[in-house]
Amino acid sequence: MGDADSYLPGHGDVSFDVKHYDLELTYKVEGNHLEGRARVSCRARTELHELELDLHGLKVAKVTLDGRRVKYRQRRNRLHVHLDEAMSEGTTFEVGVSYGGHPGQERNRHLGTAGWEELTDGALVAAQPHGAPSWFPCNDRPSSKASYRVALTVPAEYLVHTNGVLTSRRRHASSSTWVFEQSEPMAPYLATVHVGRYTRVELDGPVESYAIAPVALTSRLDSAFGRQAEMLETFVEAFGPYPFPSYGVVVTDDELEIPLESQGLSTFGANHLSDDWGCVRLVAHELSHQWFGNSVTTGTWQDIWLHEGFACYAEWIWSEASGGESAHEQAIRHHERLRGEAEDLLLSDPGPDLMFDDRVYKRGALTLHALRLTLGDDVFFDLLRGWTRENAYGTVSTGDFVEHAQSFSDADLAGLFKEWLHQEPLPDLPSSR
C-alpha cells in the first residue's frame, strides 16, 4: 500500500474509510497506563486483501473481524490485519482491537511530537497532525472522518472531557466512567482526551459555551475568554452558523507552548489566561478552526493553508470587530514583514518541513485579504459563508476553494491564485475594489 499522504508517510490507508469508532478505555493516572477495546466500523473503498490501522506504542492483545478472531501483526506503528479472503469494494465490516500499555507522544522528524501527553496531574491529547494513533487504532488520515463514542474510566477524583456530548457518567467504588458521543464526522487528529482535577464553568455565548479548568484558575478565565461570546457572534456573521452543538475550552494547570483546537473544543495552558492581544488572538484563532479545519477539513496536509490561513485571517477580523487594528491594517503590516523573510515557500505545497511555518499562516491570510480586496466585502463574505455551508462536515482541497471562489466572480481569478498559491515571490496586495 502506498502512503495515504506524502506529508505523513506511514499513516493512513486509502483502501477503506472508517464510519464509526467505539472506544472503551480505562486509564490509570498514576503510572500512565491505558487499557482499551476499540470497535472500528469500516467500509471498503477498493477490493481488500489486507487492511492496516495506525497504532503507536501500545501492544495489541486480540483482533477480531466481524466478531471472529483473526491473525494480525504489529510493525512500525501499524497494525496489519489478515483477511482469510478478499473483501469487495463497498463491503462493510467491523474490526475489534484489544490493546494496552503506556501511551506517549509519537515523534516525527519533520513535525516533532504529538499525541498522548502526561501532565503534572492528569493527561491530555494534542494529536495534530500525527498523534491520534498514540491512544487508539485508527485510519489516520484527515479525509477519513467518522463519528465517535468514547467511554473512559478514570479514578473518581478526576474529571474527563473529550469531543462531543456527555451522555452518561457512572460512579463506581473508586472510579467513574464518562461516556461521550461525537455524532458529526471528525478526522482522527481532532479527537482529544482530557483527564484532570477540573471543574466545569458555564460561559456566555450564542451557543452552549463552557470552560473546563482547575478551580484555582476559574477566577482568571474572564481575562482570556471574557469577550468570547462577542467573538462567536462576529464569526457566525462572517462565516455562517456555528457547526457544532457546543464550544468548550479546556485550560490546563500546566503551561503549554501553544494552544490547540480539536472538534468542538480548544485547549489552552494556564499561561494563555491573559487579555493582551498575544493571547486573545489565539482564542480567536482556535475558535475559528471550528469552521475551518474541523467542519471543513483539508483532505491532505498539503492544503494546510485552508485551515491556518483562514484561522489567521479570523484573528484580523476579530481585531477589527473588537476595536483594534482593521483587517486591512493587519494585512499591510504582515505583508511588509513577510517582505523581509525568505520567499521560498509555495502556499499550495509548502512541504512537511514548512507546513506549520508562520509564513503559511500569514501568507494564507494575505491570500484571503487579496481576494477580499478584489471581490469587495459583500461578495467575499458571501463566498466564505457558502464555503462553510456547502462543505460542512466534509473534506476539501485548494482546487475546490479556487473553483468555489471563481463562481462568485465574473472576472478571471486564475492570475490572483497563481501568484499567491503557486509561486514563491510574495505578490503585492491588490487595490481595494
- List the CATH number of the domain containing 23: 2.60.40.1730
Q: At what angle do helices 305-321 and 358-375 cross, to 10 degrees?
A: 70
Gyration radius of the chain over CA positions: 22
Residue 431 covered by a domain: no
Cell reading at 398: 485548494
How many CB atoms are located within 10 Å of the residue 183 CB?
14
Q: Cell 498575544 sits at which residue? A: 278
Asked whether residue 150 falls in the same domain as residue 203, the answer is no
Asked whether residue 57 falls in the same domain as residue 205, the answer is no
Q: How far is CA 132 from the centre of its chain?
A: 11
Residue 432 covered by a domain: no
Distance CA 123, CA 136 (A): 15
Distance CA 53, CA 187 (A): 14
Contact predicate 132/138, CB 8 Å: yes
Asked whether residue 171 falls in the same domain as residue 206, the answer is no
- As separate numbers, helices (DSSP H) first and strands (DSSP E) second, the chain gives 9, 23
Residue 104 covered by a domain: yes
Number of domains in the chain: 3
Residue 427 covered by a domain: no
431 DSSP assignment: P
Asked whether residue 101 falls in the same domain as residue 160, the answer is yes
To the question of pTM greater than 0.85 for the whole model, the response is yes
Residue type, 322: S
Contact predicate 248/264, CB 8 Å: yes
Q: Where a domain ends, among 155, 170, 191?
A: 191
Beta strands in 120-164 (DSSP E): 122-126, 146-155, 159-162
Contact predicate 395/143, CB 8 Å: yes
Asked whether residue 234 falls in the same domain as residue 336, the answer is no
- List the CATH number of the domain containing 390: 1.10.390.10
Q: Where a domain ends, among 255, 290, 325?
A: 290
Asked whether residue 161 falls in the same domain as residue 277, the answer is no
How many CB atoms are located within 10 Å of the residue 188 CB?
27
Distance CA 18, CA 143 (A): 10
Residue 207 covered by a domain: yes
In the chain, the largest separation of any two C-alpha atoms, in whole Å, equals 68
Extract the residue ranges of the chain whose pLDDT is less than 50. none
pLDDT of the residue at 432: 73
Asked whether residue 242 falls in the same domain as residue 315, the answer is no
Residue type, 51: L
142: containing domain: 1-191
Asked whether residue 286 falls in the same domain as residue 318, the answer is no
Distance in angstroms between the alpha carbons of the first and the last residue of the chain = 49
- Per-residue model confidence as pLDDT tens digits over 353-387: 999 999 999 999 999 999 999 999 999 999 999 99
Asked whether residue 32 falls in the same domain as residue 98, the answer is yes
Residue 398 covered by a domain: yes
pLDDT of the residue at 433: 64
Distance CA 231, CA 315 (A): 10
pLDDT of the residue at 3: 67
Beta strands in 233-335 (DSSP E): 246-252, 260-262, 265-269, 297-298
pLDDT of the residue at 328: 98
Asked whether residue 15 falls in the same domain as residue 162, the answer is yes
Asked whether residue 104 falls in the same domain as residue 217, the answer is no
Mapping DSSP onto H, E and C, the string for 270-292 reads: HHHCCCCHHHHHHHHHHHHCCCE
pLDDT of the residue at 110: 81
3-state secondary structure (DSSP) of residue 209: strand
Give the phi and the psi of residue 309 in degrees, each rounded to 5: -65, -40
Asked whether residue 166 falls in the same domain as residue 223, the answer is no
Residue 428 covered by a domain: no
Residue 237 covered by a domain: yes
Q: Where a domain ends, among 141, 165, 191?
A: 191
- List the CATH number of the domain containing 209: 3.30.2010.30
Distance CA 92, CA 70 (A): 17
Contact predicate 348/380, CB 8 Å: no
